[in-house]
Amino acid sequence: MIASPCKNYPERNQPKERCIKRRRVTFSLEVPSAAEVILAGDFNNWNSKKHPMKNDGNGNWNKTVMLEPGKYEYKFLIDGNWKEDPGNQQTCSNHFGTLNSVLDLDAR
C-alpha cells in the first residue's frame, strides 16, 4: 500500500481538501573539515536537531526533505556556526543582521 497526501474520494460531510504536492528537495554542501552539519530553516522552525545532514565520506553533506510549494529561508549549522548556502545566491536579511539563504519552490 502506498500512502498518498491527497484523497481520491470525498469523505461524507467533509469539505474537499486541496491537494498540495510536496516535493523531494536535497540540500547539499561540501565541507570536508566539518564534524557535524545540520540543515535548519523556517520549514522546520529553525530546529537545530531535526535535520542533521549525512556525510558521504568525501566531505559532501546531504539531506533530503519533503517541502510544499512556497518560499523558504534556511541556513546550515556547521560545527555550531551558522552559514548561508554558498551554492545559492538568493538571500534575504534576517533580524540578526546576517543573511539567510532563500529557496523558492513554485506551485508547478
Domain boundaries, the chain: 23-105
Give the integer Cα–Cα distance in Å for 28 and 55. Answer: 10
Average pLDDT over residues 44-62: 96
- For domain 23-105, the CATH architecture is Sandwich (2.60)
pLDDT at 18 over 70: no
Q: How confident is the model at residue 6 (pLDDT cuts 50, 70, 90)?
A: very low
pTM: 0.79
Q: List Cα–Cα distances, 8 to 17, 55, 59, in angstroms.
A: 10, 39, 43
pLDDT at 81 over 60: yes
Higher pLDDT, 18 or 36: 36
Work out the mean pLDDT of the chain and round it to a whole number.
Answer: 87
Q: How confident is the model at residue 16 (pLDDT cuts 50, 70, 90)?
A: low
